[in-house]
Amino acid sequence: MRLILSLILSVLVGAAMGGLLFGADMIGFYLILLMPLAVGALVGLATSFPAVPGRIPTFPLLVVALIGCAAAVVVYWGATYLQYREEFVKVAQENIAVGRDEALALLPEFEQEAYGTTGFPAMLALLAEEGLSITRTGSSSSSSGLLLQGGIAYAYWIGEIVLMVIVAWVSVFRRYTTNWGKKYAPEPTVVTNDIVRTDRPIR
């Protein structure tokens, strides 16, 4: 039961943090490395806290933490993709005066011609081409900091996810060493063998 509670809480926290990451990105406050660290720490905490009193084994909790991080990634990138589609519709309507449905119908054609692929991979190709700065993602302005473009951008995105998972897993491994872990963890059961005394000699 506590494992299910850990799973639910981990997914909810992960999804909420993914939404917060997207919101921070939209206002230009996405801090590189710090945001994934915060998400991983909170997902790890959400995974560990319900599990401590029940002394759930580590491996299932690592899987739960991984799922929580996946929820954050899916929500963030899913929202980013929806925003990307809306931006294309806006630009198309301003330049060629088409309706929303017509603009969305033109999107795959544009993506295929520009990037040789469509959908989510095309969006990633566009973002990698524009580059991301050391202070926020999705910025093509060199004045905002060092730009990571092309393959380096892809490597950063992967590294960001890996870092998030590692931090969450570290939190799971350290769940009994924190103050709250020591407070709520049950005392371990000590099994001792009864000593049988006898007057007969031991052979």
Question: Does 75 or 29 have the greater pLDDT score?
Answer: 75
For the stretch 165-182, pLDDT in tens is: 999 999 888 876 765 555
Q: How confident is the model at residue 120 (pLDDT cuts 50, 70, 90)?
A: very high
pLDDT at 116 over 70: yes
- Examine residue 116 and state whether it is found in any structural domain, yes or no: yes
Q: Is 31 domain-assigned?
A: yes
What domain range includes position 74? 2-183
Residue 196 resides in a domain: no
Q: Which residues, 6+ apart, have CB-to-CB distance to 11 below 8 Å?
A: 67, 68, 71
What pTM did the predictor assign?
0.79
User: DSSP readout, 120-187?
Assistant: HHHHHHHHHHH-B-SS-TT---GGGS--B-THHHHHHHHHHHHHHHHHHHHHHHTTTTSHHHHHHSPP
Q: How many folded domains does the chain comprise?
A: 1
Q: Is residue 18 part of a domain?
A: yes
pLDDT at 21 over 70: yes
Residue 191, in any domain of the structure: no
Q: Indicate the residue type of 75.
A: V
Q: What is the pLDDT of residues 31-90, one digit of tens each?
A: 777 888 999 999 999 888 776 666 778 888 999 999 999 999 999 999 999 999 999 888
**With contact defined as beta carbons under 8 Å apart, do 47 and 9 qualify?**
yes
Tally helices (H) and strands (E) across the chain: 7, 0
- In this structure, is residue 177 part of a structural domain? yes
Residue 195 lies in a domain: no
Backbone Cα Rg of the chain:
25
**% of the chain surpassing 70 pLDDT:** 79
Is 176 part of a structural domain of the chain? Answer: yes
